[in-house]
Amino acid sequence: MNRLIKNYVFLLGVIIVLLYIFISLFTSYITGYTPEQMNPDDMLSAPNKKHIFGTDQFGRDIFTRIVYGTRVSFLVATSSVAISLMTGVTVGLISGFFGGWIDNLLMRVMDVIFTFPAMLLAIFIMAVLGETIFNIVLAIGIIYTPQFARVSRASVLSVKNMDYIQAAIALGVSRFGIITRHILKNILASIIVQASLTLSLAILLESALSFLGLGVQPPAPSWGNMLSTSREFMIIAPWTAIFPGLAIVLLVLGFNLLGDGLRDILDPKLRRML
């Protein structure tokens, strides 16, 4: 019975994420408008047959902007998580493998990044670098590096002194090679889980930054900046604020369900981690 429930969670997550992937791949088939197409005669229209989610202050179709916004969200989320993952795992491996002062230094740096409020860090990074999509990816990538570093470091430490590794070393196999191979296999499960949860965090952070005006800038459609501009109009046009928000919630939920389900399937021991 329990297993089935876990699968429900996982399945639901997969369905949601696949839905969004589908949407982002076939944008132009899904909607007849373009995201930047303005219509001054049709400003802030309530949802209707022509515009199922209504229009914004420029008369642009909100549904279309959400659809195209999916691409931005995916782009930002996957590339920033890729950065976190690669840097994090590298740092974790080096740290766990060499130990000593290198370990100490790297882990303190990770601690500083980790303990600082993510939002604050992101605001600072964006202020210094400027508000381009590339910089958002970089900022989010840096911020979520420590989680990956910790997971992989812990894993290195746990296998480093195992008998068969020591035996392999005694037989003259390169220590680094064996550990890397063994560990990468070992941490794969936790990394996958971590990655899918981080995807959700990345989307949330991107939208919050864009909401503050520090993220993706208009006219590029991003859910966060749609919400940011909608603040001015939402009292007369609530749909400008409701739908982009729902789009965020659903995708983030999808990644969360996916990660949570994966965790149960891949490694029940990991359940305590979050």
Partner 1 sequence: MSTYIIKRLLIIFPLLLGISIVVFFVSHLIPGSAMEIFMGTQVEATPEQVAELKKIFGEDKPLIVRYFEWVKDLLKGDFGVSLRTSRKVLPDIMARLPLTVELTILSLTLAVLIGIPIGIYAALKHNPLVSLIIRIGSLLGLSIPQFWLATMLILFFARYFHMSDIGNFVPFFENPIGNLKFMLLPSISMALGMASVLVRFTRTSMLEVLGADYIRTARSKGLSEGVVLKKHALKNALLPVITVIGFYAGYLLGGAIVIEEIFALPGIGRLMLYAIEKRDYPVIQGTVIIVALLFIFINLLVDILYGIIDPRIRYE
Partner 2 sequence: MKKISLLVLFSFLLGLFLITPLYASTLRVGIEQEAVGLDPNIVTAFASFRRIELLYNRLVTYDASMKVIPDLAESWDTPNNTTYIFHLRKGIKFHDGKELTAQDVKFTFDRILNPKTGSPARAYLKNVKTIEVLDPYTIKITLDQPVASFLVGLASGNCSIVPKHTVEELGNLQRKENGTGPYKLSKWVPDNYMEFTKNEAYFEKGKPYIDKVVYKVIPDQMSMYTALKGKSLDLAIIRSGSVLKLAEKDKDIVVVKVPGINVHTFGYNLKRKPFDNLYVRQAIASAIDREEIVKTAAFGFGKPTGPIPIAASYWAIPPEELPFGKPDLKKAKELLKKAGYENGLSFKILAANKYKLADIAQVIQAQLKRVGINTQIEIVEWGMYVNRWKKRDYDAIVELRGGSPDPDRFLYRMVYTNGPVNNFFFSDKEIDKLLDEGRVLTDPKERKKIYDKVQYLLAERAPIVFLYSPTVSVAHRKGLEGFKLIPNESLLYIKDTKIEK
Binding site for partner 1 (CB under 8 A): 1-2, 4-5, 8-9, 12, 112, 115-120, 123-124, 127-128, 130, 200, 204, 207-208, 211-212, 227, 231, 234-235, 238, 241-242, 245, 248-250, 252-253, 256-257, 260, 271-272, 274
The count of other CB atoms within 10 Å of the CB of residue 235 is: 8
d(CA 169, CA 126): 46
Stretch near partner 2 under the rule CB under 8 A, chosen from 145-153, 194-202, 225-233, 254-262: 225-233
Q: Which stretch binds partner 2 (CB under 8 A): 47-55, 65-73, 124-132, 263-271?
A: 124-132
- Whose Cβ is closer to partner 1: residue 62's or residue 252's? 252
| Per-residue CA distances from 204 to 48, 77, 118, 138 (Å) | 29, 9, 11, 15
233 contacts which partner out of partner 2, partner 1, none, CB within 5 to 8 A by kind? Answer: partner 2
Q: What is the CA radius of gyration of the chain?
A: 22
Residue 99 CB, nearest approach to partner 1 (Å): 17
Structure tokens at 84: 């976190």
Nearer to partner 1, 97 or 211 (CB): 211
CA distance 10 to 251: 14
Asked if 258 and 14 touch (Cβ cutoff 8 Å), the reply is: yes
Q: How many CA atoms lie within 13 A of 160 on its CB side?
A: 15
Give first-to-last CA distance, the chain, whole Å: 23
Q: Does position 32 bind partner 2 by CB under 8 A?
A: no
Which residue carries 């549904």 as its tokens?
63
218 binds, among partner 2, partner 1, none (CB under 5 to 8 A by kind): partner 2
Residue from 116, 177, 232, 249 touching partner 2 (CB under 8 A): that is: 232
* Residue 241 interacts with partner 2 (CB under 8 A): yes or no: no
The continuous run of DSSP H or E covering 208 comes out as: helix 175-211
Pick from 44, 133, 142, 270 the residue near partner 2 by CB under 8 A.
44
Cα–Cα distance for residue pair 161/45, rounded to 1 Å:
66
Closest to partner 2 by CB, 34 vs 180, is: 34
Residue 23 to residue 213: CA distance in whole angstroms: 26
40 binds, among partner 1, partner 2, none (CB under 5 to 8 A by kind): partner 2
Reference 25, options 76, 80, 82, 75; nearest CA is 75
Nearer to partner 1, 4 or 170 (CB): 4
Q: How far is the CB of 104 from partner 1 (least distance, A)?
A: 13
Which residue from 175, 217, 265, 267 is in contact with partner 2, where contact means CB under 8 A?
A: 217
Q: What element of type H or E holds 260?
A: helix 239-266
Binding site for partner 2 (CB under 8 A): 36-38, 40, 43-44, 57-59, 127, 130-131, 213-214, 217-219, 231-237
